Amino acid sequence: MKRLVWFRILLAWAAVTWVTFAFLGLSRTFPAKQQLIPALLMGNLLAVGIILIGTILFGRFYCSVICPLGIFQDGVSFISEKIRRKKNSFRYRKELRVLRYAVLVLFAGGLFSGIGVIPILLDPYGNYGRMVSNLLAPVWRQSVNFTADIVSDSWLIEKYDILPQTEAAMIFASVYLLCILAAAWFGGRIYCNTICPVGTILGTLSRFSLLHPYIREDACVKCGKCEKNCRSSCIDIKTGSIDTSRCVDCMNCIAVCPTGAMTFGRQQKEKVSAEAAETRKTAQPLSRREFLGTGAAAIGAAAAVITAKTRTVESAAAGAKKIVMPPGADTREKLMNLCTACGLCIDRCKGGVLRPANLEYGIGGIFLPKMDFKSGFCDYNCSQCGKVCPTGAITKLPFKKKRSTVIGKAVYHHFNCLIMKENIICGNCALHCPTKAVTMTEDFHGKKLPKVNKDLCIGCGACEYHCPAEPKAIEVNGLSKQDKLKEKEKPKK
């Protein structure tokens, strides 16, 4: 039984490494697609089913061996225990049920009404992803480049192109990281058990889980070690009860129990003493105050969601003209409804063109991927973003489809062009256009000028990226609904 904790630690390490590597481009993105919220959004019923049924059977195993943010907090808590030498620092705390369900209602409201910002800020996987993509990945890239320079004589290591960081996303990720660090350092799993909506959903199910840790009263000596080691603060040794809605199956209590009284399995009803049952009854049910509190919070949340929605729609409409979405995003509504802004597509973008948005999509679409043609252009022969997207916000497109997906249209601004300003016939836009939509044609003065054939343009931005003029003489305007190239006008080749 005591080996369960090692089993958990092993699985946790495997999972967190795998997810993190996926962001750094070192492994496939399979584990990202098994996260609860992305799987729900993707409609990946198999993964959702396994997680939910698993939770009903075994409790919140998801939080300790699948969720990278949960595992990360376990790690922080572990280090904190080592450094502070206060391994036994936890005490039983009462569940903050009002807060938990209020946040859940807010989250669900945001999810269903398409107010992206709420799920974006609350989804644990998305938050972990942004921390990796905005804080760890730059460090990783720099160190790879550094190593590549050192060993360049003996080994060939591909360097990364270093792109400028998006400050807002970086600052937000740093703030979030600090909060998580503080919460986990001092409170163990307090974040998972009060804020995290996934924790609340799974917690609700695991309240009724079939198997869970429990205390065999006959063997228990009430030493309290389990309570003091419980990062979820969910063991109450006084009553001998465990709040299974907060237990994340970390198995630490089983490992520290000196008498083996702490067991994982099915608790037999009759073994609960009458006295303990009595106290538990008073402890568990929803009090009236809590009920009213939850209701009020729910109404408040709903109101907040609705007001936020009207506001986002307005601001989205205001800044709507130019922004270009990644191919496969289809419509702006779809992208904003489904994306949790984890940043996986941004990290894996081959052309370096996907960057986290600031407010271009409106507040509801903060940190969502957008095309930034200053840092790159969409590679004609690449469909990575759709391939890696765990939520289905960017649809996976086969190469053929990707190449005929129209994400924007190029517009030529005559007076910005070098040909007009400095009489340099540069032709870079035509030279790099993959569909030959931009060509150099002569005007009536015999001057060579670029000309955009709107029927062929797919909006990849190669022209805008390569345009040397400042401000750009050719730029791509996004479409709020992505289009297909018409069959007969597709370029031959």
What is the binding site for another protein (CB under 8 A)? 148, 152-154, 156-159, 161, 352, 376, 381, 399, 418, 422, 424-428, 431-432, 466, 468
The continuous run of DSSP H or E covering 482 comes out as strand 474-484
Report in angstroms how near the CB of residue 440 gets to another protein at its nearest: 12
Beta carbon nearer to another protein, 319 or 352: 352
**In the complex, what is the shortest distance from the CB of residue 344 to another protein, in angstroms, rounded to a whole number?**
21
| Smallest gap from residue 408 Cβ to another protein (A) | 20
Residue 226 structure tokens: 């389990």
Give the Cα-Cα-Cα angle 432, 433, 435 (nearest 5 degrees): 145
CB of 379 to another protein, least distance (A): 8
Q: Which is nearer to another protein, 389 or 467 (CB)?
A: 467
Contacts 24+ apart (CB under 8 A), 49-56: 51/202, 52/205, 55/202, 55/205, 55/206, 55/209, 56/205, 56/206, 56/208, 56/209, 56/210
If the CB atoms of residues 89 and 145 are measured against another protein, the closer one turns out to be 145
Quick one: angle between helices 137-150 and 4-24, nearest 10? 70
Give the shortest CB-369-to-another protein separation in angstroms. Answer: 19
Longest dimension (CA), the chain: 100
Work out how close the CB of 425 gets to another protein at its nearest, in angstroms, rounded to a whole number.
Answer: 7
Instruction: Please give the structure tokens belonging to residue 239.
Output: 């009553």
Of 406, 432, 421, nearest in space to 472 by CA: 421
Beta strands, E only, 378-473: 405-412, 438-442, 448-452
- C-alpha distances (whole Å) from 219 to each of 181, 257, 261 are 37, 10, 5
Closest CB to another protein among residues 231, 466: 466
What residues contact residue 50 under an 8 Å CB cut-off, 6+ apart? none
Quick one: 325 or 467, whose CB is closer to another protein? 467
Identify which of residues 161 and 489 has a Cβ nearer to another protein in the complex. Answer: 161
